[in-house]
Amino acid sequence: MDTHTLSHTSRGAFKLLAALLMLTATTFLTGCKENISEDDYAVAKKQNVIQYLESQPEEYSMILKLFSEVKLGLSDNASTIESVLKARGNYTVFAPTNEAMQTLLHDELGKQSIDEMTDLQKRMVVYNCIIDNGTESAYELSDFPSDGTTFNYATIDDRRLTSQQDKDGEYYVNLTSHVISPNHEASNGIVHAVDHVIYPSSQSVPEIIAQADNMRIMAQLFKETGWKDSLRTRTTEEDAYVRDNQSNIGVKTVYPGISGNFAYMPKRRIRYTVFVEPDEVLHRDWGIPMPQYDAQNETITNWAEIREALLSKCEQVTGITDHHDDITNTDNALNRFLAYHIINGGAPLNGLVAHYNEYRYNVGNNPAVPQTRNLPINVWDYYTTMGPHRALLKVTQVGGEQHPDYPFYINRISQYDNSFRGTYDEISALPDNTPTNGLNIRISESNELTAEDGTKESFSTNALNGYYYPIDHVLVNSPETQAALGGERIRIDFTTMHPEFLSNDLRITGEQVHFPKGYFQNITHESSNTAITYLHSKTYGGAPGWKDGQGDEILVTGTYDFVMKMPPVPADGTYEIRMGVANNRARSMVQIYFDDKPFPSTPTSLPIDQREFVRDWDPNLWVKDEKNNYDEATCREGDRALHNLGYMKGPKYYCVNGTEGKTTVRDYFDESQNYFFPNMRYIITRQFLQKDKTYYMRFKCAVESSTSQFFLDYFEYCPASVYGSVTGEDVW
C-alpha cells in the first residue's frame, strides 16, 4: 500500500467538509463525525449530480458504485461521496465512463473488477474526479484552461488538475483524460464525461522527473547529489500538523480591530517547484554528451563522462571549485547548480505570479478568480532557492500585445517604458535572442517529447509534493546572473518569502486564515501575544479601495514580537531595504531590528508609528501629483523630500482595487479621510549586504495594546546603483 497517498487523501477534503459538514474535535486521522441536514439537499427541479449519472447506468454505473462506497473521511460514520453529491453545492465532476474505468482496472491496476481495488485506489479515483468550487459556479468547458495550466480550484484530494486544448479544439485534463461529453448541468454542479480516469501521481518531484525520457541527466543528478532524498514526500510531517491541531481546525476566530472571521489554517502541505533542462538543452548549450540509456538495466552507460562534463562546465561558469570530487557536498559546484533549480514551495505555473492590481490590469467580473486572458504588462515575483547557498530566482510572466501567449521566464531582465508618464510596456529584454549564463530562460507549461516520426509523448509534471517545469536554456547562478539581478530594484511580496503560502495555495484561493505559532519555517521567536493573519481582497469580493500590493496583506495583532528570516541579496553591495506600508489609526508603533544574527538586537531607528500619516508632521510632505499638475520636476522634488525623511510614495505599478488598473497607489488619497492613509514605503535601513550571508529582521510592538495591528505587504532591496543613479529612481 502507498501510505503516502493514503495520508494525502485523508487530508484533501478539508475544503469540502467546511462547506457541508459540522466538524467535531476529531479529524480524518482520528475519526470524523459529520451531520448533514436534510435542508442541505437540493430540491430544485433539475437533477443533482448523482441523479444525472444514475439516469445513464450504461455509462456511469462503475463510478456510481465507487461514489456509494467511498467516504469523505476515514471514520465509520463519515458521509459517502454519493451523499455529498446529492447536497447543494457547486461541484465540477469529471465522470469516467465505464469503459474508462475498465481501462484503469485492466491496463493500469491489473484488476478484474472494482471489488479488487484497495480502499486507497478507490479514494484516488473518486477524490480526484471532483472539484468543489465553493461559492463559485462549477467549471463549464469554456472556463477550462487551454494552455496546460491548472484550474483555480483543487480536487477534494487537494490536487491541481491541468487542462490542455489540442489543435482540433478538444480538451484533455491531466494530459490523458479526454473530455468526450461536456457541460451536463445539474442542480448542484456540472458533469463532464471523460474517457480516461484521472489518477494523479503519488510520487515525489524527482521521481516523476525520472519517468520522463528526455530528462535522464537531471534525474540521475538528483539521485547522485542526494537532492532526491531531500525532496521526498513528507506526509508524516503533514499528518503531524493535522494531529497536533485537530481541536482547532474548523474554528474561526475574531480578532479585535479586524473585520471578519479568520479560519484556523487546516493544513501545512510541503511542496517544491523544480525547473529542469531536458537532455537536449544541456547538450546544445553546454556540449554535455547525450545519455546512452540501457533500458533493460535502467542505467546511463556513459554517466561518468556526463558527470565530469557537467561538473567541469559548472566550475568554469561559476568559478566555484570546492570539493571537486564530492558532488553530494553542498559546497560542490554541481550540487549548487542543482540547488539553484529548486524553490522551497510548490505551485502550478500560473500560481508563481499573482495578477490582481498591476497597472492597467482589469481583474474581470469575478475578483475571486482574476482573469488571465488580457494581461497588459509584465508581472513577476522573486523566490529563494534551496540549499545552504541561498540565492534569488526571478519568475516573470510577460504581458502585452507582442506576447499573446503570455510566456513565463526565469531571470528576465527587462527594459520598460518607465518614464514619469510612461506606460510600463516592456521595450526589450536582455540578453537578446540567445539566453546565456542563467538569464532570460523560458519556462514550458508541460513536458512533451517529439519522436523522429513527429509523434509526441507527454509526461506528467504534477507530483504529489510539487511540480517541475522544462526550461529552454541552462539555468545557473553565474556572476552574470548575480550582477543582473543585483542591478535592479527587487520588490518581494511577503507571500513569496514563505514557502507555506505557495505550497498551500493561499495566494490562489485568497482564503482568510490565521496561523498557529511555529507554522512558518522562516518566522521564529514568536511571543505568546503574536497573532498572524492573512487577508486578501478576494475574501471581501474585491472590495474597492484596497491599496495592497497584489491585493493581499499580512496583519499581525496583539503585543507582537517575532523574527523573520529575510531573502538573500543576489550580489554584494549597498542596498536600501524598504517595507510597503498602508498606515491607519488602528495600527501600532513597531520597533524594527536588523542584522545577521537569528535574533537581531540592532535597532534600525526609533520606533515607527503606523498610525501616522507623514502629513501629520507637515501638510506639504505628501502632495498628490495631480495637485502639482503632474509636473515631473516638482513631483520629483517632493519625492526627494520624503526620501530624506525615510519615506517614499507607493509605487505607480500597483493600483487601487476597483479602478480597473487606472488609479495608482502612488497618487491615491481621499482628502476627506482621517483614518486610512496612502500606500507608502518606509526605508528601514541602508547598508552593505553580502550575498552569502543570511539576514534577519525582528518586529516588536512598541505599545501595550491587545488590539495593536502591524501591517506587512512587500519588501524592496534597492541597490545604490538604482536609488543613487544620476537620473533618479523611477516612480514605478
| DSSP assignments along 631-661, one per residue | -HHHHHHHHHHHHHTTEEEPPTTBB-TTSTT
Round to whole Å and give the CA distance between 262 and 647.
Answer: 32
Instruction: Identify the three-state secondary structure at position 407.
Output: coil
Round to whole Å and give the CA distance between 316 and 39.
Answer: 69
Question: Which tens digits make up the pLDDT trace of 610-645?
Answer: 999 988 888 889 999 999 999 999 999 999 999 999
Q: Is the pTM of this model over 0.95?
A: no
- Three cell numbers written together for 170: 478538444
Round to whole Å and give the CA distance between 218 and 291.
Answer: 11
Query: pLDDT value at position 74?
Result: 60
- Across the chain, which distance is largest between two alpha carbons, in Å? 80
Burial of 502 (0-12, 13-18, 19+ CB in 10 A): buried
Q: Name 355's Cβ contacts closer than 8 Å, sequence gap at least 6.
A: 361, 363, 370, 371, 372, 375, 379
The answer to whether residues 602 and 594 touch, using CB atoms and an 8 Å cutoff, is: yes
The answer to whether residues 661 and 376 touch, using CB atoms and an 8 Å cutoff, is: yes
Q: What is the 8-class DSSP label of residue 314?
A: H
Low-confidence residues of the chain: pLDDT under 70: 1-44, 74-75, 257, 432-435
- Three cell numbers written together for 209: 522527473
CB-side neighbour CA atoms (13 Å) of 104? 26
Pick from 302, 14, 346: nearest CA to 208: 346
Prior bond to 431 cis, omega within 30? yes
Q: DSSP string covering 209-245, please?
A: HTT-TT-HHHHHHHHHHSHHHHT---HHHHHHHHHHT
Length of the chain: 732
